[in-house]
Structure 1
Amino acid sequence: MSSIAAIAPIAERTDCRPDALPLTALCAAAEPVVVRGIARDWSLVQAGLRSPHEAMTLLRAHDSGHALQYSHGGPEIASRPFYTNDCSALNFDVQRGTLSTLLEAIAAHRDDPQPPTYYLASLPVDNHLPGLRASNDLDFAASGIAVQPSIWIGNRVIASCHYDAPNNLACCAVGQRRFTLFPPEQVANLYPGPLDPTPGGQVVSMVDIANPDLQRYPRFAAALAHARTTVLEPGDALFIPSMWWHHVQSLQPFNVLVNYWWSSAPAQLPAPMPALYHALWAIRDRPASEKDAWRALFDYYVFGPAERAGEHLPQQARHALGPIDPILARQLRAMLIGKLNR
């Protein structure tokens, strides 16, 4: 924990309103920002400030009863859903139940000095907690953004450092959460783990951020120089830009977070991860000279200005080099499927 204490704090704002979120400005700046008190008036926040029991009672009142899945690990995983020592498996299991049965399990172990870990991740609020948003929501529609919030519920849990492709506004509703963030370019210093399987769907850092082993992961010291951290109290929110790595510690016996994911990219663009898998397959193991040549092509066609590769061509000859509208997106998808199926 001493390394965490030395990390620079995340910048903060206190001038935001729930009905006037500066989402465009936040996305354009692409820097993490803490928004203090943005959700302080939520009924769930107020219930949790009175007691964890009241927060659980409020959640139960909205429970649809639909089946769900949550992570469960014994006391031996020390609140950290992760891999076994040899990375041959995950160190937790997935259980099925309802929201109410999960809350009962968390409450039953609330006072244990070393409780089992319970973690419900990214549950769609509208499907499983109908009516909750009526008094627990932020106004994204005012910014022209359609977004469905998710809820995260657990006891003391450590979510290993990972990234998400969408932008994220994470609101602490009950308990406390410590976030430690790293910019995307620190990927090599974070020692990413396997692409599959992963503890939660995304690639995670193999470093225990709270207690790093710098002999095993020496480059992590360089990542710490670029890290930023904060502790969210009930009603606070954190904007996490797309692709920023974040490590999350839930600090209380009962914690609830509501988050909003959205993309700034056009809707017709597919997820980038399959492109990475394809590049691993098609390019990574080629001779160094070929990889250098492909790097130049990718810089020209993909990572440079979008208009550069086609600006010297007539409009009718640009095809994939022009703006990708929904029609062109479907054509490219069909072409790729055809080539991959040969």
Structure 2
Amino acid sequence: MAPDALDAQLSYAQEPFIIRGLAAQWPLVAAGKAGDAAVRDYLVERARARSFPVNIGEPGGGDRLFYNAAMGMNFRMAQGPLAEILDGIIANADKADAPVIYLSSIDMGGYFDGLREENRLPLGNRVPIESIWIGGRTRIAAHNDVPHNLAICAVGRRRFTIFPPEEFANLYLGPLENTPAGRPVSMVDFRAPDFAAHPRFRDALDRAQVADLEPGDAIFVPSLWWHHVEGRAPLNALVNYWWSDVPTHLGKPEDALFHAILALRDLPAGDKARWRALFDHYVFANGAEVTDHLPVDARGILAPLTPETAGQIRARLLRSLSR
């Protein structure tokens, strides 16, 4: 695909799409086709002399990185040299009682020399976060991300099961603050759904899209689309690019959600209704009637935000929350 064609497709896409063979010429993809040992050598040769963070599951705990029965995590965090971690993944491949070993969201520029330069995509003016995910057979519960995501299956096979943003209620999300990797996840076991406990999941499945990726294939997952991800080979490596189209001075919507839970959720019903109307007026509708009656130079934070007015809001919130 020509660089300008990919840039244009990413700029206008509103829904997920697949590009077969987008990264077929990558050296990492070629190493994967040569075998697991070739992947191991290719990555180790480029790894910096530092410890790599790794998730290690419970022996016999299956391939799902998730909660345990006490709603803690069924995996622990460790660190070690990349060569030893990859040797462990390869040695434990397809053993029934082997623990999951999974390197998640490893910054390619921070942990490798030359890896991202040798395996690149023409992403126009975007300045993405570039990460690599490496492991054996794994299942990552359905979750969403705020940035856009272009994910490349570089080694092994990946299956994405994707749902539109509005399906969140049908996915039976877990806690907001106690999460496996920073984002709330679906509590449904996709391999064995319990429809008695999660009946609305049937409705979610009616709108699901399933994408099976081979080495070199890419999938675009737009902001806030839910995705369940499976690594389906004894050794899998996925490279992904995250970026946002919104200005960097804007706040994070998830922070506003937490603040709203703190300040609004437990108010009396009448008060909540009045605050809902104010939020609709100032935030969600944000029509001309909000500011038309004010002089342009007196609109303050009601005008489109700038880095300066965004900073004023942050300072006000910091003062308020520190009391």
The TM-score with structure 1 as length reference comes to 0.90
Q: Distance in 2 between matches of 1:300 and 1:33?
A: 35
Structure 1 counterpart of 2:87, from 100, 104, 116: 104
Match of 1:34 among 18, 40, 45: 18
Q: C-alpha offsets along residues 33-75 of structure 1, whole Å, 9 cap, x if unaligned?
A: 1111110000000110121211111001101021121111134
Deviation per CA, 1:239-286: give whole Å up to 9, x if none: 000011100000000000000000011111122211111000111111
Q: Deviations over 1:146-190 (max 9, x none)?
A: 123100000001011111100000001000000001111111111
Do structure 1's residue 181 and structure 2's residue 181 form an aligned pair? no
Q: Which residue of 2 aligns with 1:117?
A: 100
Question: In structure 2, how many angstroms separate the alpha carbons of the residues matched to 1:27 and 1:308?
Answer: 31
Does the 8 Å CA contact 1:30/1:242 hold for their aligned counterparts? no
Q: Residue 285 of structure 2 is aligned with which of 284, 304, 310? A: 304
Q: 1:285 to 1:115 in 2, by over 3 A?
A: same
Aligned to 2:48: 64
Aligned to 2:219: 238
Q: How does 1:12-51 map onto structure 2 within 5 Å?
A: 16-17=1-2, 19-20=3-4, 22-23=6-7, 25-51=9-35
Q: Which amino acid is the alignment partner of residue 181 of structure 2?
A: G
AA of the residue aligned to 1:93: R
Mark the CA change 1:115 to 1:285 in structure 2 (over 3 Å): closer, same or farther. same
For the 8 Å contact 1:125–1:149, the answer to whether it is kept is yes
Q: 1:113 Cα deviation (Å)?
A: 3.6
Equivalent positions of 1:1-342 (< 5 A) are: 16-17=1-2, 19-20=3-4, 22-23=6-7, 25-87=9-71, 89-140=72-123, 143-305=124-286, 309-342=290-323
Residue by residue, what CA displacement relative to the aligned partner does 1:277-300 show, whole Å, maximum 9, x if unpaired? 100011111122222222222222
Contact conserved, 1:307 with 1:322, CA < 8 A, in 2?
Answer: no
* C-alpha RMSD over aligned residues: 1.6
Q: Distance in 2 between matches of 1:289 and 1:209?
A: 39
Please tell me the residue identity of whatever aligns with 1:106: I
In 2: Cα distance, 1:307 partner to 1:26 partner? 31
Contact 2:60/2:98 (<8 A) preserved: no
SS at match of 1:291: helix
How many percent of aligned residue pairs carry the same amino acid?
A: 44
Unaligned runs of 5+ in 1: 1-15
Match in the other structure for 1:7: none
Deviations 1:13-34 (A, max 9, x none): xxx33x3353454354320111
| Conserved? CA contact 1:171–1:258, under 8 Å | yes
- Letter of the 1:247 counterpart: H
Number of aligned residue pairs: 323
* TM-aligned CA distance change 1:332 to 1:162, over 3 Å: same
1 CA distance for matches of 2:138 and 2:155? 14
Superposed displacement of residue 115, structure 1? 2.6
TM-score by length of 2: 0.95
Distance 1:220 1:286, change over 3 A: same
In structure 2, the residue corresponding to 1:297 is in which secondary structure?
helix
Looking at structure 2, the residues matched to 205 and 113 of structure 1 have their Cα atoms a distance apart, in angstroms, of 25
- In the aligned structure 2, how far is the partner of 1:330 from the partner of 1:307? 24
1:98 CA drift (Å): 2.0
Structure-2 change in CA distance of 1:33 and 1:49 (3 Å): same
Structure 1 Cα separation of the partners of residues 5 and 288 of structure 2? 31
Q: Distance in 2 between matches of 1:96 and 1:49?
A: 28
